[in-house]
């Protein structure tokens, strides 16, 4: 569902505007100026960073550590502000 | 992993909200509670852009873009259609900004509420017309700077009490919620889902560009709004019975105002004026909650 939708002829198009695919085609990671970096040594696996990400860009891995999805993370820094253990640092993208 | 809110994501990444958008967080939480069997209506607002351009969408549920003033009545129509087909288990949700709710959409919303149509109306309130460049609305708080209320002429009117207007319709359920308290947020939507009639949710949704605040503070500011009593979290049942969702010890209002450029021009005196207005309203709510206690004792739990 997340691929780009392409029409080659007019009759391929729906008769009215409708949602046919998901916005995951839009890789918002390119918006980012700052990148969140998780320090596993400080992390207590609470999931608070996951909870407050407006871009659904943190997943918890099999060991319950957060993994940032850099394809979509916009670098807002909310995860770093909300982390109770200061385990997330925002570093400049080069 | 034990999550405190549902793990399932209905809304997806790739949406077009600014960095640190409270409205995006609000949608994420709302859909966790509502689940995929939901149909939404969006009037013109930031969310009509956030969702993405045709033929793509971010919400993961069927969605109807409506004219600015018609979110509620289109939702009423969708509900009537679903009822006629016997599909009563689908949540119909009107999702609108403060401009689309407090100002231009109030007539349609009043009609829907008066008929007690079985929908959930969510107003994500970022306290101005953000999508068109931060013009003031009747939800903009006293003292705030917007593009139509510049610093020397900052907003002189108080925020409209939308919850009270809804309560005056004897609406079965209306509640305020915040993106900083997702568990409370999800609980309220679950309750709204479980009862029939019109349900109204008023969500404070921080907006970094409109509030002139740092994106990383978006959740913290929404939390401070509750902790400073600026945006109290409470419910009104049956249009009459009030209940505070939390009653935190008040933090100084400056903690909420200082990080926001839209309040930077306020003098100490003006901040004190604002503080008085906040206290006045909060005391009123506490009085109402006190009066309503017997109702909730009888109801046991809900
Ligand atoms: C009838 C009509 N008038 C004006 C507009 C232009 N317009 C589109 S979105 C918007 C602002 C919406 O503000 P709000 O409801 O607070 O949502 P936000 O953008 O803040 O999310 C305006 C004025 C319109 N689309 N239709
Ligand atoms: S920086 Fe913002 S977008 Fe990126 S993972 Fe953290 S909360 Fe999500
Ligand atoms: S909020 Fe901080 S401590 Fe909690 S899981 Fe995320 S990184 Fe770890
Ligand atoms: S202007 Fe504000 S409400 Fe609109 S998308 Fe940006 S942060 Fe969200
Ligand atoms: Mg608005």
Beta bridge partners of A89: A37
Q: Which residues of chain B have a pLDDT value below 70?
A: 300-302
pLDDT the model gives residue B302 = 60
The pTM of this model reads 0.98
CA–centroid distance for A61 within its chain: 14
**Does the beta carbon of A58 lie inside 6 Å of ligand 2?**
yes
Beta bridge partners of B40: B63, B93
Domains of chain B, residue spans: 22-301
The complex's ipTM works out to 0.96
Q: Are B174 and B121 in contact (CB under 8 A)?
A: no
Residue A32 located in a structural domain: yes
A91: left (phi over 0), alpha (psi -120 to 50) or beta: beta
| Chain B interface includes A93 (CB < 8 A) | no
The structure tokens 């997330």 sit at A88
**Does the beta carbon of A78 lie inside 6 Å of ligand 3?**
no
Pick the CATH number of B22-301 from 3.40.50.970, 3.40.50.2300, 1.10.10.10, 3.40.718.10: 3.40.50.970
pLDDT tens readout for residues A7-36: 999 999 999 988 999 999 999 999 999 999
Most distant CA pair in chain A: distance in Å? 56
For the CA of B47, the closest atom of ligand 1 is: 21
CATH (domain of A84) = 3.30.70.20
With cut-offs at 50, 70 and 90, classify the pLDDT of residue A53.
very high
């Amino acid at each position: 569902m997340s691929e780009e939708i392409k029409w080659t002829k007019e009759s391929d198009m729906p008769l009215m505007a409708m949602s046919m695919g998901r916005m995951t085609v839009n890789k918002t990671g390119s918006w980012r100026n700052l990148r969140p970096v998780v320090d596993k040594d400080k992390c207590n696996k609470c999931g608070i960073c996951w909870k407050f990400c407006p871009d659904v860009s943190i997943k918890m891995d099999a060991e319950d550590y957060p993994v940032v999805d850099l394809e979509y993370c916009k670098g807002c820094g909310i995860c770093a502000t909300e982390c109770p253990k200061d385990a997330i640092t925002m570093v400049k993208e080069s | 992993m034990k999550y405190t809110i549902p793990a399932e994501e209905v809304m997806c990444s790739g949406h077009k909200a600014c960095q640190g958008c409270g409205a995006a967080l609000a949608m994420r939480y709302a859909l966790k509670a509502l689940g995929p069997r939901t149909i939404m209506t969006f009037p013109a607002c930031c969310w009509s852009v956030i969702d993405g351009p045709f033929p793509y969408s971010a919400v993961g549920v069927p969605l109807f873009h409506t004219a600015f003033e018609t979110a509620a009545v289109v939702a009423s129509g969708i509900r009537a259609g679903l009822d006629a087909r016997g599909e009563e288990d689908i949540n119909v949700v009107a999702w609108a900004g403060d401009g689309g709710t407090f100002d231009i959409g109030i007539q349609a919303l009043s009609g829907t509420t008066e008929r007690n149509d079985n929908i959930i109306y969510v107003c994500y309130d970022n306290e101005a017309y953000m999508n068109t460049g931060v013009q003031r609305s009747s939800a903009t708080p006293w003292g705030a700077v917007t593009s139509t209320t510049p610093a020397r002429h900052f907003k002189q009117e108080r925020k409209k009490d939308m919850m009270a207007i809804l309560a005056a319709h004897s609406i079965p359920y209306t509640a305020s919620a915040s993106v900083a308290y997702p568990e409370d947020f999800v609980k309220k939507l679950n309750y709204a889902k479980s009862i029939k009639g019109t349900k109204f949710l008023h969500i404070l949704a921080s907006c970094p560009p409109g509030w002139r605040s740092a994106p990383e503070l978006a959740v913290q500011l929404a939390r401070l709004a509750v902790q400073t009593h600026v945006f109290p979290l409470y419910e009104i049942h049956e249009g009459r019975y009030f209940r505070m969702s939390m009653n935190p010890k008040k933090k100084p209002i400056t903690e909420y105002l200082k990080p926001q450029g839209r309040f930077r021009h306020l003098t100490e005196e003006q901040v004190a004026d604002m503080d008085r207005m906040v206290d006045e309203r909060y005391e009123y709510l506490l009085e109402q909650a006190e009066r309503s206690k017997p109702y909730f004792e009888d109801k046991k739990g809900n």
